[in-house]
Amino acid sequence: MWKSKKSYYLWPGCLILAIFSICLILALNYIRKVEKESMPDYVEAGLYFSPPAKKTTAILFYPSLPVKMDTHTPLVLIGDKEQAEKIMDVPLEPKKIIEGRDWLEKIINEYNVATGRAKEKEFYGNKTNDGFVLFITPGITSKKGYSAHIGIDEDENTVCNRGMESGLLKKYFDEIGLTNELLADRPKFEMVYAGTHFTPKLEKTVSILLYHVDSNDMNTPVALLGDKDLTEKLMGHSLNPKILVEGREWLGKIINAYNIDRQEFEDKKFHHDPNYLKFTEKHKFINKEGRFKIVFAANRLGYKKVMGIEDNTICDLYMESDKLKTYFDELGLTKELLTEKPK
């Protein structure tokens, strides 16, 4: 009798668990199917990938990649449309067509130069994502070509992704009208992760914002240096910094010091211990208490990165600056950044 009651009470729970398991399996299978269908016939390009111009039939540009990509309707097609349709086995209805190989080879040749330059100095660029590109290269792999994300940095006037940046590519994109197509639906202002070799241009920088490393509240920075009103207008919300240093004098001092030391350490190919995540005692910036977030706010993008405070320096993995530490001390920034964030 006791076993019967126990079985009676367990049965509904087992049924619910079985239903849940079936639903979970179906959901996971659906997600895998969507991921597979979104880009089944293209190899994802590596960090410093360079497509071969002579073996490229066409270049297709799309808006930022959705969950499932509609390969039928690229924003721009450069190259041989008929051959691209045969290779891709789909009809193509691009918004704009640039036939022939002149522009295809100009773009790919500069893309190759830019990736080669980036690889040589171990460049890791700003994470902008305004579009998606397919290089149709039949015969090189078992797939139909290569795929890659692409971004446009209007403040730096470059075309970029994690593995390259190029002012000349931006010039080419402007000339063929691709820049406007890719930026048509971009938000007015957005945050991106600054690349390892990023150095902000003073004339393009509206402000610098500093945050505790674990803060997700962008409205209340520890400090703001520069034009508060314009920064609020760009970001679309009010800001309540604990420390406000208006004007461009201190903004200029900090950016100039950052850029000088950044370039100096780049020339030395300097970088901290790559095992920094082990929280070694060698650099106090490695410890969470010494780390902070910095945002260089420009007209269209906010470039954010994590930096650190050591005994006598401000640093990240690729630079150190005693001068910046002196400036931070003078402005009271060091003390505030090292103060535990209010809970």
pLDDT tens column, 154-195: 878 889 888 888 999 999 999 999 998 888 877 788 888 887
Name the residue among 341, 307, 340, 343 with its Cα closest to residue 325: 307
b/e per residue 9-42 (b: at least 16 CB within 10 A)? eeeeeeeeeeeeeeeeeeeeeeeeeeeeeebeeb
In this structure, what token pair is assigned to residue 40?
């089944």
Q: How sure is the predictor about 275, in pLDDT bands with cuts at 50, 70 and 90?
A: very low
Asked whether the beta carbons of 44 and 64 are under 8 A apart, the reply is no
Whole-structure pTM value: 0.71
Q: How sure is the predictor about 55, in pLDDT bands with cuts at 50, 70 and 90?
A: very high
What percent of the chain has pLDDT above 90?
A: 42
Positive/negative CA dihedral, 120, 123, 128, 132: positive
Average pLDDT for 207-220: 90
pLDDT the model gives residue 40 = 58
Separation of alpha carbons 90 and 264, rounded Å = 51
Q: How sure is the predictor about 93, in pLDDT bands with cuts at 50, 70 and 90?
A: very high
Separation of alpha carbons 151 and 162, rounded Å = 9
| Pairing between β-strand 131-136 and β-strand 96-99 as defined by DSSP bridges | unpaired
Q: Which residues, in sequence order, are CB contacts of 131 under 8 Å at separation 6+? A: 61, 62, 63, 64, 75, 149, 150, 151, 152, 182
Separation of alpha carbons 311 and 285, rounded Å = 9
Separation of alpha carbons 62 and 129, rounded Å = 11
Q: Tell whether the model's pLDDT for residue 110 goes beyond 70.
A: yes
Asked whether the beta carbons of 305 and 213 are under 8 A apart, the reply is no
Q: How sure is the predictor about 4, in pLDDT bands with cuts at 50, 70 and 90?
A: low
Weakest-pLDDT range from 158-172, 220-234, 250-264, 284-298? 284-298
Better-predicted residue by pLDDT, 125 or 112? 112
Q: Tell whether the model's pLDDT for residue 332 goes beyond 80.
A: yes
Average pLDDT for 98-123: 91
Q: Tell whether the model's pLDDT for residue 213 goes beyond 50.
A: yes
Q: In whole numbers, what is the pLDDT of the chain averaged over residues? A: 81
In this structure, what token pair is assigned to residue 92?
């193509």
Q: Which residues pair with 78 in a beta bridge?
A: 59, 98
Q: Tell whether the model's pLDDT for residue 36 goes beyond 70.
A: no
CA angle 23, 25, 29 (to 5 degrees): 115
pLDDT the model gives residue 79 = 95
Q: How sure is the predictor about 290, in pLDDT bands with cuts at 50, 70 and 90?
A: confident
Better-predicted residue by pLDDT, 108 or 291? 108
In this structure, what token pair is assigned to residue 94?
């691009």
Q: Tell whether the model's pLDDT for residue 255 goes beyond 90.
A: yes
Q: Tell whether the model's pLDDT for residue 10 goes beyond 60.
A: no
In this structure, what token pair is assigned to residue 35?
């991921």
Q: Tell whether the model's pLDDT for residue 125 goes beyond 80.
A: no
pLDDT the model gives residue 130 = 76
Torsion angles phi and psi, residue 79, rounded to 5: 125, -145
Q: How sure is the predictor about 28, in pLDDT bands with cuts at 50, 70 and 90?
A: low
Better-predicted residue by pLDDT, 94 or 47? 94
